[in-house]
Amino acid sequence: MKEKNLSAVLAFFGGSVGLHRFYLGQVGLGILYLIIPPLGLVLGVIDAISFLSMDQQTFDAKYNKAQYNPTQPTRQETRHQKPMTDRERRHEQRQRERQMREQRRRETQRSNRGPSATPAPFQAPRPIQVPNDGVAERQAGLRYFKDFEYDRAIIAFERALEKNPSDVASHFNVACSYSCEEDADKAFYHLDRAVALGFSDFERVRTHDSLAFLRVQARYEAFEANGFRLSPDLTAEEVVLENPIKQEALVELPEINDDLLEQLQRLATLREKGLLTEGEFATQKKRLLG
């Protein structure tokens, strides 16, 4: 690659013999300068001044054509460019990797098909079946619980129970979350539901750190003595409303002589006590309104 300053020095001191022209690869002009030294001396000085006043980009475009890339920014342009952040560099790297993968994929398809192969028929993509069993919500609740965000964990576990009311793990986990939030009523209720649905690891209830708040409650001993079940002092109608999860409890309510407003008020009271979730409340309300 030819240097602009070196060319100017050669033109000034060796212009009479055309040294700068030979250096720049212009052999014909170099021979002309060599044949007519007085002319070469004058032209050499002119060339030296021209090289020194010429910017680098113009010099490269004229004398370094093989190495010159017009799309490459000059040093002056590079100085004014804002440095790329790590995020922008990672984005560009991912873009290049995607382009390379796409190119390899197309080359592989062309090699597999061959020149005479027919393209594969179009097949509509199958719809993705998303399970509606509350697993994703329960896992989100566990992440919040581990980060001590108990209020957000409760919301996630309650959503899991709306999708799958018989999920034992969600009942137990939301009971732990309510205990950490010092809401004993709802914690006892969901522990009762977990045991009713098959939870039997009672030693965990006795030792789990998150249930320490429940174990200091006055009613805990009675709760444990009753097989970790609540002892409801409810009417026959409230027993059915209190346990809508188990299928065997979903029986018709006996005939109620009270006013419909009183029945709805009883449902609202159970919901406020935490004995009914929003989903259970809506189900029983729909049943009463028939």
- Among the listed ranges 19-33, 63-77, 85-99, 217-231, which one has the minimum average pLDDT value? 63-77
The pLDDT confidence band at residue 259, using thresholds 50, 70 and 90, is: low
The pLDDT confidence band at residue 27, using thresholds 50, 70 and 90, is: confident
Give residue 262's Cα distance to chain centre: 49
pLDDT at 241 over 90: no
pLDDT at 142 over 90: yes
Q: Which residue has the higher pLDDT, 252 or 181?
A: 181
Strand, helix or coil for residue 140: helix
Residue 248 backbone dihedrals phi, psi, to 5 degrees: -70, -15
Portions of the chain given CATH number 1.25.40.10 = 133-231
Q: DSSP letters along 44-111, please? A: HHHHHHHHHHS-HHHHHHHH-TTT--TTSPPHHHHHHSPPPPHHHHHHHHHHHHHHHHHHHHHHHHHH
- Torsion angle defined by CA atoms of residues 274, 275, 276 and 277, in that order, rounded to the nearest 10 degrees: 40
Mean pLDDT across the chain: 77
pLDDT at 173 over 90: yes
The pLDDT confidence band at residue 255, using thresholds 50, 70 and 90, is: very low
Q: Which pair of structure tokens corresponds to residue 192?
A: 């009762």
Task: Read off the pLDDT of each residue in 172-195 and give the average, rounded to a whole number.
Answer: 92
- Among the listed ranges 136-140, 216-220, 246-250, which one has the minimum average pLDDT value? 246-250
**pLDDT (tens digit, 9 = 90+) per residue, 28-52?**
877 877 788 777 778 878 888 888 8
Under CATH, which architecture does the 133-231 domain have? Alpha Horseshoe (1.25)
pLDDT at 236 over 50: no
- Among the listed ranges 103-112, 182-191, 218-227, 251-260, which one has the minimum average pLDDT value? 251-260
Q: Which residue has the higher pLDDT, 51 or 168?
A: 168
Q: Which one, of 42, 58, 59, lies nearest residue 7 by Cα?
A: 59
Residue found under tokens 């989903």 = 279
pLDDT at 203 over 80: yes
What is the rounded CA–CA span in Å between residue 151 and residue 181?
8
Please give the model's pTM, rounded to 2 decimal places: 0.40
